[in-house]
Structure 1
Amino acid sequence: MSEPTGKYSITMPRDIAEAARVRSGPSGLSAYVAAAVARQIERDNLNELIAVAEAEHGPIADEEIQALRDALHRARREQTRGEADVA
């Protein structure tokens, strides 16, 4: 069973609405917009968590961020190689 839905009226620039309509595909504009809003809510929640963590522990250094990005890229490469070995 899916979540209950509601009907809303929103206003947005015409060019953005038309670009979204073109890209929405078979799921339709409503599903496309709902997914975009859900992603924005996730980002907002993450930004709030980061703000709380930085308030408690101080800002994250650029070097720490880069080290984590590098580790993520390595993990993705290893995962991709592992999937290729299985195939």
Structure 2
Amino acid sequence: MSEPTQKYSISMPRDVAEAARARSGPSGLSAYVTAAVARQIERDNLNELIAVAEAEHGPITEEEIQATREILRRARAEQSAEPEQHRGAA
């Protein structure tokens, strides 16, 4: 069940509105704008969590960022290799 919707009036630069309308596809401009706002809210929430964590534990170092990126890179490489392994086993 989806949330009830309400109509809002917003203002934005014409070029932005036209680009959004051109990219919105069959779902329409309202769905496109809703998805963009939802992503921004997720980013804002994440930034708030990061600020709280850094206030408690100190800022994240560049080394920690790079180490985490490497872990993610390896995990993605393993995931993309899994289908190949399964095909080879069949």
| Structure 2 Cα separation of the partners of residues 14 and 84 of structure 1 | 48
Q: Does 1:27 align with 2:30?
A: no
| Structure 2 Cα separation of the partners of residues 86 and 33 of structure 1 | 40
Structure 2 match to 1:42 = 42
1:10-29: CA deviation from partner (whole Å, max 9, x where unpaired): 00011111111011001000
3-state SS of the aligned residue for 1:6?
A: coil
3-state SS of the aligned residue for 2:12?
A: coil
Structure 1 match to 2:73 = 73
Identity of aligned residues (%): 77
Cα offset, 1:35, TM superposition = 0.3
| Structure 2 Cα separation of the partners of residues 52 and 66 of structure 1 | 21
Structure 1 moving runs of 4+ over 2 Å? 83-87
Structure 2: tracts of 5 or more residues without a match? none
**Largest Rg, 1 or 2:** 2
Cα offset, 1:80, TM superposition = 0.9
Query: When the two structures are superposed, what TM-score results if normalisation uses the length of structure 2?
Result: 0.92
1:42-75: CA deviation from partner (whole Å, max 9, x where unpaired): 0000000000000000000011001101111110
Q: Does 1:13 align with 2:19?
A: no
Q: Does 1:85 align with 2:85?
A: yes
| Structure 1 Cα separation of the partners of residues 62 and 28 of structure 2 | 40
3-state SS of the aligned residue for 1:48?
A: helix
Cα offset, 1:77, TM superposition = 1.1
The aligned length equals 87
